[in-house]
């Protein structure tokens, strides 16, 4: 896991206009928000948002998107609210985090029989900013990389099927072939 300084340095290598305080603040906000949470692997939850931010920095994305990667689960999984994220990081980041949260909520409400194409269209339609989809793809990619820690085989299969039918095609449509390929490879391992 990258620490705060390593992540900031990585982003500074391609973004000379980066305000390091913003990323540092987002890192600490995520650390505090997720401090009592654990991943299925037993690791501290912070590993996940940092890994998502790392994937986004590999794509050389802007600092608001990297901050969103760090904060993407705070509204959904912690006591943080849209208002608290907006107060600390501004409307742009709060809207991005909220967009990722809405996609996650859609996943939970999707009916088994819904056609994957309809779900993809729904996700695309609800994402006002392409960066929301980029964060969601990075989130899914890290979750797939750590899928083996989920002990429930049916849940692993459901997540893999959803990845194959929804997220790999979305990555493909966005021209992110390396992410599509990795999502498909990781899904095939389970399916």
Catalytic residues: 76-77
Going by C-alpha positions, the residue among 32, 38, 27, 41 that lies closest to residue 149 is: 41
Give the C-alpha distances (Å, rounded to integers) separating 26 from 72, 74, 110, 127.
Answer: 10, 11, 31, 22
Give the C-alpha distances (Å, rounded to integers) separating 148 from 9, 43, 160.
Answer: 31, 14, 11
Tokens 């990619």 sit on residue: 141
Contact between residue 136 and residue 148 where contact means Cβ atoms under 8 Å apart: no
What's the sign of the alpha-carbon dihedral 120, 125, 126, 132? Answer: positive
DSSP class of 110: -
Beta bridge partners of 38: 44
Tokens 């920095």 sit on residue: 57
User: 3-state DSSP call for residue 78?
Assistant: coil
Tokens 């006002």 sit on residue: 128
């Amino acid at each position: 896991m990258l620490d705060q300084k390593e992540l900031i340095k990585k982003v500074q290598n391609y973004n000379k206009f980066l305000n390091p305080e913003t990323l540092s603040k987002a890192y600490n906000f995520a650390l505090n928000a997720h401090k009592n949470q654990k991943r299925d692997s037993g690791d501290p939850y912070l590993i996940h948002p940092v890994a998502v931010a790392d994937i986004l920095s590999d794509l050389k994305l802007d600092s608001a998107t990297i901050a969103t990667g760090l904060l993407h689960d705070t509204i959904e999984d912690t006591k943080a609210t849209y208002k608290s994220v907006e107060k600390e990081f501004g409307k742009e980041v709060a809207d991005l985090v909220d967009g990722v949260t809405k996609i996650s909520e859609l996943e939970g409400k999707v009916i088994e029989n819904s056609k994957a194409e309809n779900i993809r269209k729904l996700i695309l339609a609800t994402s006002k900013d392409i960066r929301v989809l980029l964060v969601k793809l990075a989130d899914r990619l890290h979750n797939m990389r750590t899928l083996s820690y989920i002990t429930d085989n049916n849940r692993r299969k459901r997540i893999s099927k959803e990845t194959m039918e929804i997220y790999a095609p979305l990555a493909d449509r966005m021209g992110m072939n390396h992410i599509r390929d990795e999502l498909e490879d990781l899904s095939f391992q389970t399916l």
